[in-house]
Amino acid sequence: MTAMDRRTFLTTTLTGGIAASSPFLWSAFSAYADRIEDIAIAPPPRPAEKLPQLHSPRDTLFLTWQGDPTSTMTIQWLSRSETPTVIRYASLASAAQEQSLPHPPSRETGGETPRGIAWQKAVTRCHSFGRTDLKVHRCELTHLRPGTEYVFQIGEHLGLYRFRTMPAKANDLISFVSGGDCGIGPAAIASNLTAARQDPYFVLIAGDLGYDNGTSATTAISFIKNYSSQMVDSQGRLIPLITCIGNHEVRGGYKGQRSDATYYLPLFDGLYRETTYNVLDIGDYLSIVLLDSGHISPIPGEQTDWLASVLKERQDRPHLYVAYHVPAYPSVRSPQALIGLGTGELQRQHWCPLFERYRVDVALEHHDHVFKRTHPLTDGLRDRYGVPYLGDGSWGKLRTPASPEKRPYLARVSRNYHITLHRLEGEQRFHLALTENGKVADVYMTQGKRPAKRG
């Protein structure tokens, strides 16, 4: 029985008795029924999946980072081959000068290996992709020049691809796109295309990528195939992907082991080698702290201790973001629900005071499948010097939100698919919520550093 089937069954069979006996019990039951939809319960054993055909690296090729984005780039794809592959790469300027390449070249120019270019070379390493016969091919390019465009080639005859490193200094406009709760359906594809049209330096998806639940390799592959084909900017550059973990990456959703993130960690353990949380520092101007909201790493204890240390060290960064999946300030679920998982209770208790103390500029949170923006908050109350929370994970999934009257911390909320475009201009940060069709749903600005919390 599927999650929705269980919810429908429980609702139709128990509604009358519970509602008649006690409004309080009915409220508690409703919270429980909503939770059923989000706990990824492992299905019974089933026949081996018939995986999609992968004809070449280009089918699942995508970029990510495990080091400083100003000087590194990680290239990845899936293949049944275990043979290491040579990656040839060069700066776009030198390649264009030597070969009169199109400037800019398309995502893939095709043809034989260009002659005369002073290629640098690196070799992929391979490891298993979950419970499949596929291998993840990974190659990290290092010692790259900041703010530089590169072309690269996989093997001998697969054409050229293009990317750019992040600038060393935030002297010019820098933009990136964030969101969560994608899936692989038409709405997710439309959001992908809208995100790519913004020409961002990178995309940050904070949990629930394809909804593989740690059990479906086909779903995980479909998400990567969509990303590979659609996340290309107007100049033909591949757009790197940064992620953090959500409940639909893990068998059981919460309190799992690393092995339960069957198809997520094989793709992203370059950044999450030992823990499922980390920080990505981009030059000296932007830090993004990526957290695990209880899916593998518990919120209290080691993760919170680590968070305090990381935020303290970075509190004076010009731009300091945190990103995680389950919201501290939900727009659909009740923050007072009796079921602790997925309500944000632990985040409000352990993380939000640290966000306030160490001057986090913006918190990105998802999971509830609507567009939301909170007021700047301190101790859960509106405060001009507080932390704004943006979300709530509707890249490709939708629910109906609660109203601001029922959630006083909400400044804006609506039932829209959306992504958020972040534009960093000096000390100013503009946050534009865009629907899947590219219409502006909200514009919000944050500026400078918040004053340190008193006391």
Contact yes or no for 214/41 (Cβ under 8 A): no
Distance CA 19, CA 24 (A): 8
Q: Please name the residue that has the structure tokens 């919520």.
A: 433
Q: Is domain 57-164 classified as CATH 3.40.50.720?
A: no
Antiparallel, parallel or unpaired: β 286-290 and 278-282:
antiparallel
Contact yes or no for 377/340 (Cβ under 8 A): no
Reduced to 3 states (helix: H, G, I; strand: E, B; else coil), residue 344 is coil
Q: What is the pTM of this model?
A: 0.86
Burial environment of residue 4 by CB neighbours within 10 A (0 to 12, 13 to 18, 19 or more) = exposed
Please give the span between the terminal C-alpha atoms of the chain, in angstroms, as a whole number: 52
- Cis omega (within 30 of 0) on the bond before 392? yes
Which distant-in-sequence residues (6+ apart) come within 8 Å of 322 by Cβ? Answer: 288, 289, 291, 311, 351, 355, 360, 362, 363, 364
Antiparallel, parallel or unpaired: β 241-244 and 278-282:
unpaired
Q: Show the tokens assigned to 23.
A: 């409004």
Per-domain boundaries in the chain? 3-36, 57-164, 174-447
> Per-residue pLDDT tens for 427-452?
899 999 999 999 999 999 998 877 77
Q: What is the CATH number of domain 174-447?
A: 3.60.21.10
Contact yes or no for 443/431 (Cβ under 8 A): yes
Q: Please name the residue that has the structure tokens 């704004």.
A: 388
Distance CA 248, CA 324 (A): 13
Phi, psi of 357 (to 5 degrees): -65, -40
- Cis omega (within 30 of 0) on the bond before 104? yes
Give the strands of the sheet with 62-64, arranged side by side.
62-64, 73-79, 135-141, 125-128
DSSP 8-state assignment for residue 89: E
Phi, psi of 29 (to 5 degrees): -65, -40
Phi, psi of 287 (to 5 degrees): -125, 135
Q: What pLDDT tens digit does each residue of the chain (455 aa) get?
A: 434 343 333 333 333 333 333 433 333 333 434 444 454 445 544 556 777 778 789 999 999 999 999 999 999 999 999 999 999 999 988 765 545 444 344 444 444 555 667 899 999 999 999 999 999 999 999 999 999 999 999 987 668 899 999 999 988 899 999 999 999 999 999 999 999 999 999 999 999 999 999 999 999 999 999 999 999 999 999 999 999 999 999 999 999 999 999 999 999 999 999 999 999 999 999 999 999 999 999 999 999 999 999 999 999 999 999 999 999 999 998 887 655 667 899 999 999 999 999 999 999 999 999 999 999 999 999 999 999 999 999 999 999 999 999 999 999 999 999 999 999 998 899 999 999 999 999 999 998 877 776 55
